[in-house]
Amino acid sequence: MTTTTAQPTVTPTALTSVVPIVPGFHPDPSICRVGDDYYLANSSFEYAPGVPLWHSRDLLTWTLVGNILDRPDQFLAGHASPYGGVYAPTLRHHDGRFWLITTDVSAGRPGQLVVSAEDPSGPWTAPMFLEGLQGIDPDLAWDADGTCYVTFCSNGPEGPGIAQARVDLEAGTVLETPRRLWSGTGLAHPEAPHLYRRGEYWYLIIAEGGTERGHSVSVARADRPEGPYAGAPANPVLSHRSTTHPVQNTGHADLVENADGSWSVVYLGVRPRGATPMFHVNGRETFLAGIDWVDGWPVVDEGRYLRPVPDTSYTDAFDADELHPRWASPGAGLSEIAEARPGGGLRLRRGDGPRADFGFLTARTLDPAWRFEADLGVSRGSGALLLRLDDTHWCEVRADAGQVSAVVRIGPLEATLGTTATLTGSSVTLRAEALGPTTGGPDDVRLSAVVDGKEHELTRFDGRYLSTEVAGGFTGRVVGLRTLDGTVDVAEVRYTALPTDQAV
């Protein structure tokens, strides 16, 4: 399978610090540096392949290298329901090897999942599970003598909060009963720990306050990895709660030391829009800031890194040997549902397994305003272009039974909205757009189709109904394709980032 991708460009807009370095549903960033190369991993929840992996030389422009959990023995597509699957990872490089630790909450066995690789492009090993560490958000850190510590958000017998234990990664064993560490300033849900050695101190970074508007970053330090830890006098060191800042829910931070000795931090945030309480639709995204060390404590400099708004547009004719790593599915392995066609394009079919109905070929939406369209051949079946947040919050344009229609699902309610169009031949272009709001939501979702060269608007509705504030959960919108019956041929898809003024 192949991919033709437009080269990324940037628009001549003013530099800004509120543009994510990795836009769209890419939460829980973890970063490491090897020489002049930076690598960043994100959580992926129910979507397979799992854990997107990015590379950069300047911290500002990132290229999607692949997905770390890209085989069934690492993460089984379709076994995780919405908000299950792969939670926050930690990516580290130690003794010439890359290590990734994360939690697959739907794996059916307890413990933290660990894989490793000599080359970040893979192959990554089959997973081992560190059993006895009950919880999420695991971190890896090594002492000077090679002792490895896993620090995590516990839901085990040691009690809630941040816990830690020494482990043997070669043997895949936990060497001691986990102990509780410092668990924040008293805010809700202390989580997302990362541990670092700098100078004479060990620093423990955590998130607290919940991953919604109260999200924040706090820090403590100790003389040794086991503690005891004392909190910074200026905690939280990063939070946008109760402000009008355009980026909210800031938290889940990971520090990195740069080659010149300076420090930076990646963290997640959202870009809510619309009327109160405001709504975010593209999920939690990855942002970047600088770090200054003042009196032995990290101080976040949000204005250090400025960048123009990038053009995230792409065209995919599926004419390369493999699918681009942007594509993922919440319900089936990609090889189950997508087959390369000679000369280019894809043939889509329904998947098997317990979540076959959700075997979609999807990619994350990346911008406040965008257009996604697909050229389909439906002579052998029927298909749809869909915009999805979860199993019960989605919409799609269907080419089925000689007509094109728009279907919207919000919770238990599913209905055909707007008008329909007659499908006169075996090919059609289906389209979804996120445009400026007309009713106080974050945007309007517009669904349409082009039949015999003529565009038919089918429906337009308030995008808040496909927002996290309505649906809940931890993911963001994805857009893609599925087969309703038989097989469907995909000649080309086009994702276009629209001007920012179309999103306000």
CA 209 to chain centre: 21
Q: Active site residue: 137, 191, 433, 492, which one?
A: 191
CA 235, 241, 242, 247 dihedral sign is positive
Query: What is the per-residue DSSP string for 382-401?
Result: EEEEEEEEETTEEEEEEEET
Label residues 396-410 b or e (16+ Cβ within 10 Å = b): bbbbbeeebbbbbbb
Contact 399, 490 (CB under 8 A): no
Contact 411, 391 (CB under 8 A): no
Question: What is the pairing mode between strands 413-422 and 361-364?
Answer: unpaired
Contact 202, 196 (CB under 8 A): yes
Supply 456's token pair: 């038919």
Q: What angle do CA 477, 49, 78 make, to 5 degrees?
A: 80
Q: Which amino acid is present at 176? A: E
Task: Tell me the β-bridge partners of 428.
Answer: 376
Q: Which amino acid is present at 203? A: Y
Q: Which amino acid is present at 417? A: L
CA 82 to chain centre: 13
DSSP 242: T
357 is catalytic: no
What is the end-to-end Cα distance of the chain in Å, rounded? 37
Contact 336, 346 (CB under 8 A): no
- Distance, CA of 241 to CA of 247 (rounded, Å): 10
Identify the H or E element spanning 306: none
Contact 120, 65 (CB under 8 A): yes
Contact 392, 499 (CB under 8 A): no
Tell me the CB-side half-sphere exposure of residue 384, using CA atoms within 13 A. Answer: 25
Question: What is the pairing mode between strands 148-154 and 135-142?
Answer: antiparallel
DSSP 199: T
28 is catalytic: yes
Which amino acids are annotated catalytic?
Answer: 28, 191
